[in-house]
């Protein structure tokens, strides 16, 4: 007689239990009926397991939730080298309808609206799910790297009084009868917090009322922001960026090993020193004379960095002040350029960062030069009158990072429940 | 001749450098001039250090940012047992004005508006800063405990189509010309994600249009949410809550040691099993007959748990269904009560949680019974038609936790930049 254990074993742990009676719980991922035998694939948080049923069985619809007791039996043909035999099956929760496509097929169908409209169930597809595991591992690596470097996590307001920073593209809000706006970034707050903690980071939602319906823009995305003081210039920020990217990749490598395999993702190598190219040199190389890089330029420079340095990462430094926000530190001796950078990764801008102004007078001058009023920035500007060190920072969009890493064309597919011009649900 | 090192030493590291020439960078926390000698206290991210100046010195205003080179000299009277002597002082950034109160005084003044209106500088006060360090350590402990238990971090929409869950108290938004609302909690999304990952958590902002001006409500706060499947009932959720609270406290103990001392905080002991009291028994004990606990009731029950069990934590279980949301699992055999709980800590409700319904039909019945329409919940409800396991979860407000821990009366003081009925800046 077999004594069943009270507690559950996960799919990934089954190989350690060969010969034992176990309980597995999970979703009916797939049911296949052959002549004299049927197979169930059960999905749980750790992976898939195979259950063999001899004789007939009237299976519930796929995605039903099952509790199965049986014996772990070695079988070289089965996933993980084991399968459950002699099962007793209990239906914990019977599915009433089938997903819009078979979740067990290797690929997600190309019909984007179907995938997104039914995200409440399509996210259960192992590939879509795996991308979210990459995201979780990445953000974990971001935080732990910065923790190790003496940064402190902060939480700043997502509703603000003035539509400042980037001017347009803000969502307007009714705040107890007053006009307010959703924050486009924690930029001002993270700079203020350098005065408190020297080194801070925030991981949280930001909002852009992007009227464009592109594959790389979202109206809400997860911004990974860092800012720190006592830097020499933007080169110190770039050194930290390199550490953070390496830490994120290391975290993905160790925390999402199975998912990397499933998605067939090759993790990029991070050079000890990421190559860099000044914006002026980039223009010469591209044979252009402009103040910004077009998407095609980013792709060309990225390809050049792979060829020249074997690096999938490239810093473009010194962007023209004309295209950078007012708080950017101009390049010493060359003030039409700036102490700022973008990090290109696999043909796309991934990170933007730089050194900021830190003297109160420099802020007043910068706003005056741009013909901007001071009042909307009052408490932010005030910070610099109290003494602030030279500082800088950077920001990275989590969804865009995962899209590049996993080779996904549309950033909506790396977001659980995307928000855009048209989409407010699920 | 002394050779100065190129790189900076932090205040906390100085005791390891006695006799060496070093550089320290930081804010001028305090300047004190005596007859023949002056003292500067320099504040950096690691703490305070003392600099001794013999002869006259015209110090810049407090909060100016300084770079000081000098020799580390042992002195039992100085903070940390060392001080910097023979200093060379460089002013990196001169403060142009003084904070609204002296940041070096041990206590923060009682005038709340002054403190909050000038948060961009008052947060530099070591006590206010220390509370934020407790918050950062707490959230770190929340995540690492759940990571260790196989949870996956998620990021859900903060803008939603329908003002559902709690009905009133939502902020309305203009979303590309459509009406939308700020999310009051990630409740529906975290339940959906149980179908994908089994175990999920989210740490992020939530929004409540609280028209009340109380010391314990904020219009934006940081919600720590967890949800997981394959539970027996709410007791499994309470076991996880106990683990998470213990993990948060352990993280605070190790990552905010200095801050605990500064704030004179005694960390609570977490019993192996946190005592619990059913709501019906709580009513009997209070000599009342009601469907909810008043603040005074929470204080009374908390005091009773300290007396009876020596525990600063108490679970009150089985709250009446009348006061719980529609997705709550009723108590088997006693359906006017529920499989839910609150965790009281030091006289206040800290955590709310419970088991949720998991069958599609139960949701339809629950909404029908409350006379609520189904349409606004469509994609959420749909999830349960695809097969969902028994599940439950809980939520904890970070600012309220820190307020209880540090013994702060007003939750605004544990928030960097609070948002409430009146406050939209800084």
* Overall average pLDDT of the A15-38 stretch: 96
Q: Verify cis geometry, omega within 30 degrees of 0, for the bond prior to A104.
A: no
Minimal CA separation from A285 to chain B, in Å? 36
* Overall average pLDDT of the A142-148 stretch: 98
Residues in chain B: 426
CB–CB contact B387 A211 (8 Å): no
Q: Which residues of B touch A152 (CB under 8 A)?
A: 45, 132-133, 136
Q: Read off the pLDDT band of A168 (50, 70, 90).
A: confident
Residue B132 buriedness (CB in 10 A; 0-12 / 13-18 / 19+): buried
Minimal CA separation from B346 to chain A, in Å? 25
How many helices and strands in chain B, by DSSP H and E?
A: 11, 18
Q: Which residue of B has its CA nearest to A150?
A: B45
3-state secondary structure of B195: helix
Q: Does residue A171 surpass a pLDDT of 90? A: yes
Q: Say if B258 is an interface residue toward chain A (CB within 8 Å).
A: no
Please tell me whether B398 is known to bind a ligand.
yes
Instruction: Give the pLDDT of residue B254.
Output: 97
Q: Which residues of B touch A155 (CB under 8 A)?
A: 135, 205, 222, 398, 415-416
How do residues A350-404 score in pLDDT, each as one tens digit?
Answer: 999 999 999 999 999 999 999 999 999 999 999 999 999 999 999 999 999 999 9
Write the Ramachandran bin of A425: left for phi over 0, alpha for psi from -120 to 50, otherwise beta: beta
Q: Read off the pLDDT band of A166 (50, 70, 90).
A: low
CA atoms within 13 A on the CB side of A343: 30
**Nearest by CB: B174 against A171, A388, A425:** A171
H or E element that contains B145: helix B126-148
Domain boundaries, chain B: 11-93, 119-414
Q: Say if A367 is an interface residue toward chain B (CB within 8 Å).
A: no
d(CA B25, CA A228): 13
CB–CB contact B230 A25 (8 Å): yes
Handedness of CA B109, B114, B119, B120 (dihedral sign): negative
Please tell me whether B307 is known to bind a ligand.
no
Please answer whether residues A92 and A74 qualify as being in contact, where contact means their C-beta atoms are separated by less than 8 angstroms: no
CB–CB contact A196 B425 (8 Å): no
B395 strand-pairing partners? B225, B352
CB–CB contact A154 B132 (8 Å): yes
Instruction: Give the pLDDT of residue B7.
Output: 76
Instruction: Give the pLDDT of residue B213.
Output: 84
CATH topology of domain A119-414: BirA Bifunctional Protein; domain 2 (3.30.930)
* Overall average pLDDT of the A60-78 stretch: 96
How many helices and strands in chain A, by DSSP H and E?
A: 11, 18
Minimal CA separation from A363 to chain B, in Å? 13
In Å, the largest CA–CA distance within chain A is: 86
Please answer whether residues A234 and A340 qualify as being in contact, where contact means their C-beta atoms are separated by less than 8 angstroms: yes
d(CA A122, CA A215): 19
CB–CB contact B123 A196 (8 Å): yes
Instruction: Give the pLDDT of residue B249.
Output: 98
d(CA B345, CA B417): 25
Q: Does residue A314 surpass a pLDDT of 70? A: yes
Q: Read off the pLDDT band of A2 (50, 70, 90).
A: very low
d(CA B378, CA B309): 45
Question: Among residues 53-112 of chain A, which lie with CB inside 8 Å of chain B?
Answer: 61, 63-65, 92-97, 99
Q: How far apart are the first and last CA of chain B?
A: 49
Handedness of CA B225, B228, B231, B236 (dihedral sign): negative
d(CA B150, CA B147): 5
Which is it for strands A340-345 and A348-356: parallel, antiparallel or unpaired? antiparallel
DSSP-assigned states of every residue in B252-297: HHHHSHHHHHHHTPPPPP--SS--EEEHHHHHHHHT---SS--HHH
Minimal CA separation from B163 to chain A, in Å? 12
Q: How far is CA B384 from CA A94, A133, B207, B232, B377, in A?
A: 9, 23, 26, 18, 11
Minimal CA separation from A307 to chain B, in Å? 36
Closest by CA position to A158, among listed A200, A216, A210, A221: A221
Instruction: Give the pLDDT of residue A212.
Output: 82
Minimal CA separation from A353 to chain B, in Å? 22
Please answer whether residues B273 and B238 qualify as being in contact, where contact means their C-beta atoms are separated by less than 8 angstroms: no
* Overall average pLDDT of the A301-328 stretch: 97
Instruction: Give the pLDDT of residue B5.
Output: 47
Q: Which residue of B has its CA nearest to A148?
A: B255
Q: Read off the pLDDT band of A110 (50, 70, 90).
A: confident
Instruction: Give the pLDDT of residue B210.
Output: 83
The average confidence (pLDDT) of chain A is 95
Tokens 């965790």 belong to B343
Minimal CA separation from B422 to chain A, in Å? 8
d(CA A101, CA A120): 13
Which is it for strands B37-44 and B82-93: parallel, antiparallel or unpaired? unpaired
d(CA A392, CA A379): 19
In Å, the largest CA–CA distance within chain B is: 86
Which is it for strands B340-345 and B313-317: parallel, antiparallel or unpaired? antiparallel
Class of the B11-93 domain? mainly beta
Residue A168 buriedness (CB in 10 A; 0-12 / 13-18 / 19+): exposed
CB–CB contact A176 B222 (8 Å): no
Look up residue A143 and give its two tokens.
């935080």
Instruction: Give the pLDDT of residue A233.
Output: 98
3-state secondary structure of A163: coil
Look up residue A362 and give its two tokens.
């420099």
d(CA A357, CA A332): 12
Tokens 């821990």 belong to B405
In terms of pLDDT, which residue wins out, A198 or A78? Answer: A198
Please answer whether residues B194 and B388 qualify as being in contact, where contact means their C-beta atoms are separated by less than 8 angstroms: yes
Considering only A182-191, A193-202, A204-213, which range has the smallest mean pLDDT?
A204-213
Q: Does residue A421 surpass a pLDDT of 60? A: yes
CB–CB contact B65 A205 (8 Å): no
**Nearest by CB: B150 against A45, A97, A180:** A45
Indicate which of A28, A155, A381 best probes the interface with B, i.e. most B CBs within 10 Å of its own CB.
Answer: A155
User: Can you list the residues of chain B whose pLDDT is less than 50?
Assistant: 1-5
Indicate which of A196, A232, A359 best probes the interface with B, i.e. most B CBs within 10 Å of its own CB.
Answer: A196
Please answer whether residues B205 and B220 qualify as being in contact, where contact means their C-beta atoms are separated by less than 8 angstroms: yes
The CA-based dihedral angle spanning residues B232, B236, B238, B244, taken in that order and rounded to the nearest 10 degrees: -150
Question: Among residues 147-176 of chain B, which lie with CB inside 8 Å of chain A?
Answer: 147, 150, 152-161, 171-176
Q: Say if B289 is an interface residue toward chain A (CB within 8 Å).
A: no
Q: Read off the pLDDT band of A56 (50, 70, 90).
A: confident
H or E element that contains A352: strand A348-356
- DSSP conformation class of A294: -
d(CA A292, CA A406): 27
B175 strand-pairing partners? B178
- DSSP conformation class of B152: E
How do residues A3-12 score in pLDDT, each as one tens digit?
Answer: 444 579 999 9
DSSP-assigned states of every residue in B92-135: EE--SS--SS-TTSSS--S-HHHHHHTHHHHTTSHHHHHHHHHH
- DSSP conformation class of B26: E
How many Cβ atoms from other residues are within 10 Å of residue B367's Cβ? 17
- Judge if A11-93 and A119-414 fold alike in CATH terms: no
DSSP-assigned states of every residue in B43-70: EETTEEEEEEEES---PPPTT-EEEEEE
CB–CB contact B133 A152 (8 Å): yes
Query: Any residues with CB less than 8 A from the CB of B412 and at least 6 apart, and which?
Result: B112, B116, B215, B218, B418, B420
Q: Read off the pLDDT band of A165 (50, 70, 90).
A: low
CB pairs under 8 A between A and B: 251
Please answer whether residues B379 and A86 qualify as being in contact, where contact means their C-beta atoms are separated by less than 8 angstroms: no
Distance of CA B47 to the CA centre of its chain: 22
Instruction: Give the pLDDT of residue A414.
Output: 96
Please answer whether residues A246 and A111 qualify as being in contact, where contact means their C-beta atoms are separated by less than 8 angstroms: no
Q: How far is CA B147 from CA A174, A372, B247, in A?
A: 37, 46, 11
d(CA A293, CA A301): 10
- DSSP conformation class of B161: S
Q: How far is CA B66 from CA A192, B51, B63, in A?
A: 18, 11, 9
């Amino acid at each position: 007689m077999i004594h069943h254990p009270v507690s559950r074993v996960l799919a990934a742990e089954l190989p350690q239990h060969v010969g034992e009676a176990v309980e597995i719980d999970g979703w009916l991922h797939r049911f296949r009926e052959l002549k004299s035998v049927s197979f169930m694939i059960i999905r749980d948080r750790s992976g898939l397991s195979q259950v063999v049923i001899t004789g007939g069985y009237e299976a519930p619809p796929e995605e039903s939730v099952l509790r199965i007791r049986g014996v772990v039996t070695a079988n070289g043909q089965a996933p993980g080298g084991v399968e459950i035999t002699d099962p007793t099956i209990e239906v914990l929760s019977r599915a009433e309808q089938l997903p819009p496509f078979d979740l067990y097929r290797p690929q997600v169908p190309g019909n984007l609206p179907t995938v997104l409209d039914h995200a409440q169930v399509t996210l259960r597809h192992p590939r879509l799910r795996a991308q979210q595991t990459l995201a979780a591992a990445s953000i974990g690596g971001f935080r732990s790297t910065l923790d190790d470097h003496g940064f402190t996590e902060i939480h700043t307001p997502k509703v603000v009084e003035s539509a400042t920073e980037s001017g347009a593209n803000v969502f307007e809000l009714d705040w107890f009868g007053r006009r307010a706006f959703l924050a486009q970034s924690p930029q001002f707050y993270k700079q203020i917090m350098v005065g408190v903690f020297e080194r801070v980071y925030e991981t949280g939602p930001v909002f852009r009322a992007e009227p464009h319906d592109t594959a790389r823009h979202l109206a809400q995305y997860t911004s990974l922001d860092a800012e720190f003081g006592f830097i020499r210039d933007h080169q110190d920020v770039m050194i930290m960026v390199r550490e953070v990217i390496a830490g994120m990749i290391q975290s993905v490598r160790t925390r999402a090993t199975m998912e990397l395999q499933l998605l067939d993702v090759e993790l990029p190598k991070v050079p000890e020193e990421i190559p860099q190219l000044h914006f002026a040199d980039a223009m010469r190389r591209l044979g252009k004379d402009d103040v910004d890089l077009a998407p095609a330029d980013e792709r060309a420079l990225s390809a050049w960095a792979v060829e020249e340095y074997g690096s999938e990462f490239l810093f473009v430094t010194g962007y023209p002040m004309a295209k950078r926000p007012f708080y950017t530190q101009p390049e010493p001796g060359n003030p039409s350029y700036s102490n700022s950078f973008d990090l290109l990764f696999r043909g796309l801008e991934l990170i933007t960062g730089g050194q900021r102004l830190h003297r109160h007078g420099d802020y007043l001058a910068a706003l005056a030069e741009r013909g901007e009023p001071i009042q909307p920035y009052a408490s932010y500007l005030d910070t610099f009158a109290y003494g602030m060190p030279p500082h800088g920072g950077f920001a990275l969009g989590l969804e865009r990072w995962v899209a590049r890493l996993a080779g996904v064309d549309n950033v909506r597919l790396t977001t659980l429940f995307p928000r855009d011009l048209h989409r407010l649900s699920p």
